[in-house]
């Protein structure tokens, strides 16, 4: 079973529009309402793959009730921590070429008691869990050390931890030794404080974070593929996708695929690439089923092209 923790979940409304026109009325050609938040998306992708999953969430107000109902309808067990604030709602505009423009709400502020109860709830749910995926930015209230405490408690319960966050929360959590971290290349560059113009630079930065405590580093390189740096070696993979409909949730689907396949080695990286590419071919933040996967389009090498230039990192 895979448990996910999303400290700042959301309701995500995605509207399909022909093109953006600032200052004008846009006529949407479709609307989706999905449960949102990175850990929530991981649970949705795990459930779509037919694997049992539980999502631990702080929920409040009518949006929180609807979010739990939508997750239940998708086969995700929800363990809710009731909060005084209201669960946030986000809006996205999806254009035909795959461009996605998001408006994200800051979300509620968690009290000290609510933050502590969320930690306690994760610990109480961690029995017989293979992986805990802790994902997303922290809401207002908890300090950057909150994820580090979560990693400590999960390890004490015998679970492995995949952490997908950035900034001070990521840096603070490294000393707690998360089993896997999943920064994208820009977040990895910010973590080491320097640009990463090539795949070789990404490998060096990932190794640096491993020396600080990360067991493995799974990095998205955008259109250039994904990189896994771990004790088993360094693996680089691509999964070309011509018909991109939406990138919303694709990285979260990728993490789900990685964990479903065991969370180690090139096989897990191949699964991550297949799930991420499949999600990108679907509308909104829809998650892929096994029928959507194209594993034959995944290419993995143990000797990545270190001199391959990357765009904008």
Catalytic residues: 252
Q: Enter the tokens of residue 59.
A: 């929920």
What is the Cα–Cα distance from 244 to 177, expressed in whole angstroms?
Answer: 35
Sheet of 160-164: strands edge to edge?
77-82, 53-59, 2-5, 131-135, 160-164, 180-181, 216-220, 226-230, 233-238, 299-301
Q: Which of helix, strand or coil describes residue 176? A: coil
The one-character DSSP state at 246 is -
Note the helical H segments in 74-198.
112-125, 146-156, 167-174, 185-192
Q: Enter the tokens of residue 280.
A: 């990108």
Neighbours of 197 (CB within 10 A): 16
First to last CA, the chain: 35
Helices 250-260 & 265-280, crossing angle to 10 degrees? 150
Q: Could you tell me where the beta strands, DSSP code E, fall in the chain? A: 2-5, 10-16, 30-36, 53-59, 77-82, 88-94, 100-103, 131-135, 160-164, 180-181, 216-220, 226-230, 233-238, 299-301
Question: What share of residues in the chain are helix, strand, coil (percent, to 5)?
Answer: 35, 25, 40
The one-character DSSP state at 84 is S
- In the chain, count of helices (H) and strands (E)? 9, 14
């Amino acid at each position: 079973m895979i448990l996910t923790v999303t400290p700042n979940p959301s309701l995500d409304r995605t509207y399909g529009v022909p093109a953006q026109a600032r200052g004008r009325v846009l006529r949407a050609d479709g609307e989706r309402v999905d449960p949102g938040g990175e850990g929530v998306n991981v649970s949705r992708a795990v459930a779509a793959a037919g694997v049992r999953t539980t999502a631990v969430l702080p929920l409040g107000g009518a949006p929180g009730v609807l979010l739990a109902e939508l997750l239940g309808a998708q086969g995700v067990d929800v363990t809710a921590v009731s909060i005084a604030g209201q669960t946030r709602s986000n809006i996205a505009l999806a254009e035909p070429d795959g461009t996605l423009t998001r408006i994200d709400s800051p979300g509620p502020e968690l009290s000290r008691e609510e933050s502590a109860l969320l930690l306690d709830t994760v610990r109480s749910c961690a029995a017989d869990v293979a992986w805990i995926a802790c994902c997303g930015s922290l809401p207002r209230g908890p300090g950057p050390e909150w994820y580090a405490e979560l990693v400590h408690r999960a390890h004490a319960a015998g679970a492995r931890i995949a952490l997908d966050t950035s900034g001070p929360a990521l840096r603070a959590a490294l000393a707690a030794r998360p089993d896997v971290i999943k920064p994208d290349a820009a977040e990895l560059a910010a973590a080491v404080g320097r640009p990463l113009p090539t795949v070789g630079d990404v490998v060096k930065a990932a190794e640096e974070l491993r020396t600080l405590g990360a067991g493995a580093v799974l990095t998205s390189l955008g259109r250039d593929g994904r990189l896994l740096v771990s004790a088993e070696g360094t693996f680089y993979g691509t999964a070309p996708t011509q018909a991109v409909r939406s990138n919303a949730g694709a990285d979260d689907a990728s993490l789900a695929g990685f964990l479903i396949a065991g969370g180690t080695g090139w096989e897990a990286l191949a699964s991550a690439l297949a799930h991420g590419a499949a999600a990108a071919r679907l509308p909104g933040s829809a998650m892929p089923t096994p029928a959507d996967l194209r594993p034959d389009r995944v290419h993995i090498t143990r000797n990545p092209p270190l001199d391959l230039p990357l765009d904008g990192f």
